[in-house]
Amino acid sequence: MIERAITGGRFKGEARPIEALPAGMIDDRLSLEDGDRTVLILEDDPNFAKVLLDLAHQNGFKGLIALHGETALLMARQYRPRAITLDLGLRDMSGWVVLDRLKHDPQTANIPVYIISVFEDGAERGMTGGASTYMTKPVGKETLEGLFARINAFVTTGGRRLLLIEDDEVQRGHILETVATGEVEAVAVGTGKEALDVLRNNRVDCVVLDLGLPDVDGYKLIDQIHRLPGQKELPIIVYTAA
């Protein structure tokens, strides 16, 4: 049995067959409307997929479930979800192949991908491949709630909040002129202490860091940042004359 993707509205392109879910498993694909915020859940375990779907609903998202990689790639192109959760241990293809194809397809490259996998040694590969987060199963409820809070924050702001940590006032000004466009909200500080204060009290999507700060070693600051609650996977770009 197959069902066809919705066309018209925000679902672009010719409708193609999409694999139906097993009996008794229901997602929101038949109730989507223009303006809905959707999360595509690619998960080999139907029970865990249901947990993620429930969390999506609790955070104001509608959920689409795919149990196979090829299905997920098709649904990502047709439904254009706001975010994708990715299980690497799939039956039909490697999750790494799915991530690579998502990130090299112009229609899906900008969709943030959040990996949730049993593999413990793939974090560096995942982040290098374009994933926004890498989480290792088993994952507790509090951690998953934090993940969906992060997805919600990204969707709400567009992932455009930047923290610049640079002690040189002139350099700070030049960088702000370059990155602080209408699409990017940038906050600039000159010390590590100020940076930690900002990160404790505000959501930030990316950090640009000069290692040569007056009050703390830059490498130590990176470690301190990643130890803050919810900041373990925060992207940090090192910009320095050293």
Q: What pLDDT digit, counting tens, does each position of 44-65 carry?
A: 999 999 999 999 999 999 999 9
**According to the model, what pLDDT value does residue 3 have?**
38
**According to the model, what pLDDT value does residue 43 have?**
95
Quick one: 67 and 146 in the same domain?
yes
Spatial neighbors of 185 by CB under 8 A, at least 6 apart, are 157, 160, 161, 162
Quick one: 25 and 123 in the same domain?
yes
**Helix runs in the chain, H state only:** 46-58, 69-79, 95-103, 123-128, 141-157, 169-179, 192-201, 218-227
Enumerate residue ranges in the chain where pLDDT < 70.
1-17, 157-159, 180-183, 241-242
Q: How many domains does the chain divide into?
A: 2
Quick one: 200 and 218 in the same domain?
yes
